[in-house]
A = this chain, B = another copy of it.
Amino acid sequence: MLMANDVYPSRQGTAEAIGERQDPVVFGNGPARSEYSLSEEQLHSYEKNGFIVLPGLMKDVVEPMLEEVRRLGREMSHRKEVVTEPDSDEVRSIFAAQNFSPMVDRISRDRRMLDVARQLLDSDVYIHQSRVNVKPPIKGKSFQWHSDFETWHVEDGMPRCRVTTGWIMLTDNTPYNGPLFVIPGSHQWFVAVAGETPENNFEQSLKQQVAGVPSLDTIEWMTRNCGEVQGVYGEPGTVVFHEGNILHASPDNISPNPRTNLMFVYNSVENTPQRPFSGQEPRPEHLANRDFTPLKPVDPK
C-alpha cells in the first residue's frame, strides 16, 4: 500500500533502489543549546560522516548504570521490557527503562546527551526507543546492514529523518566483541528495500533482521561511493551519536567479553509518527513510544 505522503517509500514490493536523502542531517545549522553542545567542527564531522564519537563523555555513569542493569535483571524480570537469559537473571536487553528506572530517565535527559540531540535536530525531542543492549560473550549474534530509520519509517510511521541515536558504552567496545560497524556518509542516501514487511515483523527482527536489509550490491555501492566500513570503538563512558539513517551492522561477539551499551533514540517532537507506512498495526509502545512529551534537560551531577 503506497501512501500519498510517503517521501521514503520502502518494502513496497518493487526492486531495491538507492535514492537521495530528503532531509537535512544537522537541522537549522545546529544551534548551540548550552556548554554541552557540539563545536562547529564536531557538527561538520557528524554531518559528513553520519556519526560522532565523544570519548569518555559519560564515564561517571558507567559503574552505577552497570549496577542498575544487574538490579533490573534481578528485580524487574517480570516486565516485558526486561529480557533476561533463559537460564539466569542476566540481562540481554532492557527496553524503555526510562519509564521505570529513575537513573536511566536522568541519564537520558542529562545535558551532555540531550543538548546534543536537541542541537542536531534543532527542536525539542522525546525518546522514540531506548535500549540496554548486552551482546554476550561467545554467543552474541551478528546484525546485518540496515538503516534504523528505514524500520522506524516503515514499521513505526516516523515521517521524516529527523532523528539521532545517542548511546553510551558501558563496557569496552573493541574490534573483538561484536562492535558497531558503519559506512560513513551512507546516511546521505535512502535505500528503498525490496520485499514487504511480514506481520509482527518485530518478533523476528529483534533477533535477526531480515526485512529491510539491503543487498550486497547496495553495500558495495555505498563503500565505493561513500566510505569504507569503519568500526566504532571506545572505552566505557564513551558516547556516540549516529544519524538515524546511517547504514550499520555488527559482527557476532566471539570474544570472552560482553559488549554492553545504553541507547536512546531521540526523535524531534516535530517528527512524531503517524500510521506505519507498511499499512500494518504499529509496533508495541516499548519499541515505538507514542508519548511525545518533550524531554526536560537536567544538569550533570
Task: Tell me which residues across on chain B come within 8 A of A181, comparing CB atoms.
Answer: 176, 254-255
Which residues of A225-282 are within 8 A (CB) of B? 229, 231, 249-256
With contact pairs A251-B254, A254-B251, A255-B229 given, residues A216 and B138 touching in the complex (Cβ less than 8 Å): yes
CB distance from A15 to the nearest CB of B (A): 19
Task: Tell me which residues across on chain B come within 8 A of A216, comparing CB atoms.
Answer: 137-138, 256
- Which residue of chain B is the closest to A230 with respect to CB atoms? B176
- Which residue of chain B is the closest to A183 with respect to CB atoms? B256
Give Cα A269 to B254, complex, Å.
Answer: 35
Q: Which A positions have Cβ atoms within 8 angstroms of B?
A: 137-138, 142, 144-145, 174-176, 178, 181, 216, 219-220, 223, 229, 231, 249-256
Question: Quick one: copies of this chain in the complex?
Answer: 2
List 12 additional A-B contacts (Cβ < 8 Å) besides A144-B254, A216-B256.
A138-B145, A145-B254, A174-B229, A176-B229, A176-B231, A178-B251, A181-B254, A219-B256, A223-B256, A229-B255, A251-B252, A251-B254
Determine chain A's interface SS by DSSP, over half rule. loop
CB distance from A273 to the nearest CB of B (A): 29
Give Cα A219 to B174, complex, Å.
Answer: 17
CB distance from A30 to the nearest CB of B (A): 30
Task: Tell me which residues across on chain B come within 8 A of A250, comparing CB atoms.
Answer: 254
- Which residue of chain B is the closest to A251 with respect to CB atoms? B251
